[in-house]
Amino acid sequence: GSPLLSVRGLRTGFVSGRTTLTAVAGIDLDLAAGETFALLGESGCGKSVAALSLMRLLPPAGRILGGEVRLATGALTSGAALGGMPEAAVSAAGNAAAGIDLLRLPEAEMRSVRGRGMAMIFQEPATSLNPVLTVGRQITEALPDLRGGSAEARERATALLAAAGIADPARRLDEYPFQMSGGMKQRVMIAAALAGEPRLLIADEPTTALDVTIQAQILDLLARLQAERGMGILLITHDLGVVARMAQRIGVMYAGEIVEEAPRATFFAAPRHPYTQKLFAALPDSARRGRVLETIPGQVPSLAAMPAGCRFAPRCAFAFDRCRVDSPQWREVAPGHRVRCHLLEVTAGSSASAAVEVS
Ligand code: SF4
Ligand code: MG
């Protein structure tokens, strides 16, 4: 069917004096209901900025520079967001089947999309929760259609905490975040994110701040909630282990661009982009235990000094002349498996010359 979320040419920058530094340089992605799409990359590659752009929750210097972010209108559970839209916004939003373009929605309407249409959880639950409000208050405030103090709101909050796997939820409602462990705080964040029954959950490194056992529990919880509710999940992570556990499809991000996209099986069996291959080579595994891990030489380029051509060229062992001049285009190498790398363009045209050129 048609995707729940469809992103085309999303570009986001940061304004600094008279210059704008581009952090997300035109990404496309589609995500279906019930599917988990992982955006994988090193820190600083633009994946969190991309996620915040989708929510339109960028920090003050952030600017969306272009593109489209369409969310299926069926994702807005009550239709309240669409019904309340001024006529101009409805036409700007285009036809309902294609979804509304969130980038062109007035902020007041966007506020109702956040929560009901899509919600986000972050790496650090401690900083996303308000330390001086009870857990119950923070969840009831996230309920879109109920007054915070009502008995019904309290009941719904209790049910949400229970759904998020918190034992003795009615008592926990009256506690403050500092009375809870990191894993419990993340469960509270998840409960609050579910309050509006979002069709899309964006999870930005949801387990990175947690220890390994708790990580696994939170990932299991997300998978269970997804199965029960049919939510789409956009999972932002730098962790291949998390990807292996959760994702049906993966997009690898490097320096603001997606450079490879593949279904899970293909991704793990046959990663094709040199950067993705380096990520795998840098993985700690039992065979290499005790030895020095292979790391990727060089650094992610700074936003102010993006190399021309392929952005990975300065770190790529296979780079050849053309890589430093032309930006590689997408090549489909298998069904649903796309790669941006000149090696694959060359191979597609003439494998004999490719062998000579890259050896
Ligand atoms: Fe390496 Fe060139 Fe491919 Fe970029 S396009 S990843 S530099 S081989
Ligand atoms: Mg991040």
pLDDT tens profile 1-41:
679 999 999 999 999 889 999 999 999 999 999 999 999 99
Q: So what's the pLDDT on residue 353?
A: 41
| Any atom of ligand 1 within 6 Å of the Cβ of 313 | yes
Largest Cα–Cα separation, the chain:
73
Arithmetic mean of pLDDT, 194-203: 95
| Any atom of ligand 1 within 6 Å of the Cβ of 254 | no
| Any atom of ligand 1 within 6 Å of the Cβ of 69 | no
Residues 226 and 203 sit within 8 Å (Cβ to Cβ): no
**Residue 252 belongs to some domain of the structure:** no
Q: Are residues 239 and 263 in the same domain?
A: no
CATH at residue 46: 3.40.50.300
- Whether residue 156 is predicted with pLDDT greater than 90 in this model: the reply is yes
- Whether residue 293 is predicted with pLDDT greater than 80 in this model: the reply is no
**Residue 336 belongs to some domain of the structure:** yes
Residues 75 and 52 sit within 8 Å (Cβ to Cβ): no
Question: What is the tens place of the pLDDT at every residue in 228-280?
Answer: 999 999 999 999 999 999 999 999 999 999 999 999 999 999 999 999 999 99
Of 219, 247, 275, the residue at which a domain comes to its end is 247
The parent domain of residue 330 ranges over 257-358
**Residue 139 belongs to some domain of the structure:** yes
Ligand lying closest to the C-alpha of residue 51: 2
C-alpha 139/C-alpha 159 separation (Å) is 11
Q: So what's the pLDDT on residue 81?
A: 47
Q: Are residues 68 and 165 in the same domain?
A: yes
**Residue 15 belongs to some domain of the structure:** yes
Residues 164 and 221 sit within 8 Å (Cβ to Cβ): yes
Q: So what's the pLDDT on residue 285?
A: 60
Q: Are residues 225 and 322 in the same domain?
A: no
Residues 9 and 68 sit within 8 Å (Cβ to Cβ): yes
Arithmetic mean of pLDDT, 132-149: 88
Arithmetic mean of pLDDT, 91-114: 78
**Residue 280 belongs to some domain of the structure:** yes
- Ligand 1 atom with the smallest distance to the CA of 274 is 6
Q: Are residues 36 and 107 in the same domain?
A: yes
- Whether residue 349 is predicted with pLDDT greater than 70 in this model: the reply is no
The mean of the pLDDT values for the chain is 87
Q: So what's the pLDDT on residue 218?
A: 95
**Measured in angstroms, how far is the CA atom of residue 348 from the centroid of ligand 2?**
35
**Residue 112 belongs to some domain of the structure:** yes
Q: For the chain, what's the residue count?
A: 359
Q: So what's the pLDDT on residue 348?
A: 53
Of 193, 222, 247, the residue at which a domain comes to its end is 247
Please provide the distance, in angstroms rounded to a whole number, between the alpha carbons at the two ends of the chain. Answer: 43
Chain centre to alpha carbon of residue 59: 17
C-alpha 344/C-alpha 230 separation (Å) is 36
C-alpha 153/C-alpha 141 separation (Å) is 9
- Whether residue 176 is predicted with pLDDT greater than 80 in this model: the reply is yes
Q: Are residues 192 and 125 in the same domain?
A: yes
Q: Are residues 243 and 261 in the same domain?
A: no
Q: Are residues 165 and 275 in the same domain?
A: no
Q: Are residues 242 and 278 in the same domain?
A: no
Kindly compute the dihedral angle of the four CA atoms of residues 129, 130, 136, 137, in this order, to the nearest 10 degrees.
-130
Ligand lying closest to the C-alpha of residue 45: 2
Of 247, 269, 296, the residue at which a domain comes to its end is 247
Kindly compute the dihedral angle of the four CA atoms of residues 22, 58, 214, 188, in this order, to the nearest 10 degrees.
-170
Q: Are residues 316 and 296 in the same domain?
A: yes
Lowest mean pLDDT among 73-82, 123-132, 284-293, 323-332: 284-293
**Residue 329 belongs to some domain of the structure:** yes
- Whether residue 359 is predicted with pLDDT greater than 80 in this model: the reply is no
**Measured in angstroms, how far is the CA atom of residue 138 from the centroid of ligand 2?**
24
Q: So what's the pLDDT on residue 147?
A: 74
Please state the pTM of the whole predicted model: 0.89
In the chain, the number of structural domains is: 2
- Whether residue 86 is predicted with pLDDT greater than 50 in this model: the reply is no
- Ligand 1 atom with the smallest distance to the CA of 328 is 5
Q: How confident is the model at residue 282 (pLDDT cuts 50, 70, 90)?
A: confident
Question: What is the tens place of the pLDDT at every residue in 207-232?
Answer: 988 998 999 999 999 999 999 999 99
Arithmetic mean of pLDDT, 77-95: 46
- Ligand 1 atom with the smallest distance to the CA of 273 is 6
3-state secondary structure the chain: CCCCEEEEEEEEEEEECCEEEEEEEEEEEEECCCCEEEEECCCCCCHHHHHHHHHCCCCCCEEEEEEEEEECHHHCCCCHHHHCCCHHHHHHHCCHHHCEEHHHCCHHHHHHHHHHCEEEECCCHHHHCCCCCCHHHHHHCCCCCCCCCCHHHHHHHHHHHHHCCCCCHHHHCCCCHHHCCHHHHHHHHHHHHHCCCCCEEEEECCCCCCCHHHHHHHHHHHHHHHHHHCCEEEEEECCHHHHHHHCCEEEEEECCEEEEEEEHHHHHHCCCCHHHHHHHHCCCCHHHCCCCCCCCCCCCCCHHHCCCCCCCHHHCCCCCHHHHCCCCCEEEEECCEEEECHHHHHHHHCHHHHHHHHC
Q: Are residues 270 and 224 in the same domain?
A: no
Q: Are residues 281 and 227 in the same domain?
A: no
| Any atom of ligand 1 within 6 Å of the Cβ of 310 | yes
Q: Are residues 185 and 328 in the same domain?
A: no
